[in-house]
């Protein structure tokens, strides 16, 4: 297996706003909260961080704050994905200079390509940037799925080191694992299937839930890594009502509301996303997991 970026829980961080500006104070508080609760890595400016509505200056600021606050304690993974291949390369080079240890690169959306195009897209990024690449497969956002044979081809490229697989399709995961023959690390991109995903051979999760429940998700992933599947399964089942609520509207709408209830940020998003108004059920489910 190639370089392993992390094992366990990585949080796909929200980007906090206040009065339509990046809330740097809240971001620092959130990063500290994550570190204090045992996460293994942080993803800055991934899908949960609303990168389409961040300026280049804000994108750089988020990554640089995360790197500075983490101070080497855990890897910082920068979201560099775009449907513009050249733009990904530019961001990858900038993220490396800012101190990120890896990049998360989603498959192109809207101008979605063919499987051959995916190989060329990721190959070009890998050839023109040194930052290790985590390939992100999330058909619900992009409208396309990476085939196992494409994963097999990508696994032969030196600095493509991992896959974030967000379909919850365990049969697809098994096919991908077989196709890459142990060359790549696999991370769940779906909180609803952390335990079974890891039981099949995944090394962890890039989680939305862990924004609000970093200790809970870290314990869950640690249990699976130790082979304590029964306890991990019990935790997975216990968390399911909250997980369903967190994805009842377009993410990160519900998780931002949850973080606001915890006093970690404002319940503010950028258009076209709008805040969740009725948080009573969300609050109840968070209380049941002792998050409030």
Contact, 225 vs 197, CB < 8 A?
no
Q: What is the pLDDT of residues 221-266, one digit of tens each?
A: 999 999 999 999 999 999 999 999 999 999 999 999 999 999 999 9
Phi first, then psi: give them for residue 250, nearest 5 degrees: -55, 125
DSSP letter for each residue of 149-169: HHHHHHTTSTTEEEEEE-S--
Asked if residues 77 and 42 have their Cβ atoms less than 8 Å apart, the reply is yes
Q: Which of 94, 164, 187, 256 is catalytic?
A: 164
pTM as predicted = 0.97
Q: What is the DSSP letter of 80?
A: -
Max CA separation in the chain (angstroms): 49
Give the pLDDT confidence of 160-175 residue by residue, as tens digits.
Answer: 999 999 999 999 999 9
* Averaged pLDDT, 46-71: 97
Catalytic residue of the set 91, 94, 136, 256: 136
Give the model's confidence band at 2: pLDDT under 50 very low, under 70 low, under 90 confident, else very high: confident
Sequence-ordered list of residues with C-beta below 8 angstroms from that of 75, at least 6 positions apart, any chain: 5, 6, 40, 41, 42, 101, 102
Residue 263 to residue 10: CA distance in whole angstroms = 21
User: Percentage helix, strand, coil, to 5, in the chain?
Assistant: 50, 15, 35
Is 7 part of the annotated catalytic residue set?
Answer: no
**In whole angstroms, how far apart are CA 253 and each of 128, 250, 275, 281?**
35, 6, 6, 14
Write the DSSP assignment of 36-55 as a string of letters: HTT-SEEEESSGGG-GGGS-
Q: Which two tokens stand for residue 96?
A: 């490396």
Residue 20 confidence (pLDDT)? 96
The label of the residue with tokens 């990063």 reads 31
At residue 186, the 3 state secondary structure works out as strand
What pLDDT sits at residue 164?
98
pLDDT band at 153 (very low <50, low <70, confident <90, very high): very high
| Nearest CA among 20, 11, 12 for reference residue 268 | 20
CB 136 within 8 A of CB 106: yes
Cα(2)–Cα(54) distance, rounded to whole angstroms? 32
Give how far Cα 145 sits from Cα of 12, 82, 199, Å. Answer: 21, 16, 22
Q: Give catalytic status of residue 229 as yes or no.
A: no
Q: What are phi and psi of 77, to 5 degrees?
A: -105, 125
The mean pLDDT value for 190-194 works out to: 97
- pLDDT surpassing 90 at residue 123: yes
The pLDDT score that the predictor gives to residue 1 is: 75
Which helix or strand (DSSP H or E) is residue 73 part of?
none
pLDDT band at 11 (very low <50, low <70, confident <90, very high): very high
Q: How high is the pLDDT of residue 172?
A: 96
d(CA 122, CA 248): 32
Assigned token pair, 234:
């019990």
Q: Is the pLDDT of residue 193 over 80?
A: yes
């Amino acid at each position: 297996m190639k370089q392993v970026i992390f094992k366990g829980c990585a949080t796909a961080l929200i980007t906090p706003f206040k009065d339509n500006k990046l809330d740097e104070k809240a971001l620092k508080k959130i990063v500290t909260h994550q570190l204090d609760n045992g996460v293994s890595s942080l993803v800055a400016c991934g899908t949960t961080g609303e990168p389409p509505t961040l300026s280049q200056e804000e994108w750089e600021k988020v990554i640089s704050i995360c790197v500075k606050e983490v101070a080497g304690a855990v890897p910082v993974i920068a979201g560099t994905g775009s449907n513009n291949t050249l733009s990904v390369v530019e961001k990858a080079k900038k993220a490396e200079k800012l101190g990120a240890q890896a990049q998360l690169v989603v498959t192109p959306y809207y101008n979605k390509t063919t499987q051959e195009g995916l190989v060329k897209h990721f190959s070009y990024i890998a050839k023109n940037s040194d930052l290790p690449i985590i390939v992100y497969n999330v058909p619900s956002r992009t409208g396309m799925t990476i085939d196992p044979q494409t994963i097999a081809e990508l696994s032969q490229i030196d600095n493509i080191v991992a896959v974030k697989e967000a379909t919850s399709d365990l049969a697809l995961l098994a096919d991908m694992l077989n196709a890459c023959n142990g060359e790549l690390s696999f991370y769940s991109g779906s909180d609803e299937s952390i335990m079974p995903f890891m039981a099949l051979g995944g090394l962890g999760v890039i989680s939305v839930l862990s924004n609000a429940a970093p200790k809970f998700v870290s314990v869950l992933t640690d249990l699976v890594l130790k082979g304590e599947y029964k306890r991990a399964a019990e935790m997975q089942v216990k968390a399911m009502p909250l997980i369903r609520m967190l994805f009842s509207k377009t993410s990160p709408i519900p998780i931002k509301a949850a973080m606001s209830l915890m006093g970690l940020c404002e319940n503010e998003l950028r258009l076209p996303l709008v805040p969740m108004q009725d948080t009573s059920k969300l609050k109840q489910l968070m209380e049941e997991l002792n998050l409030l």
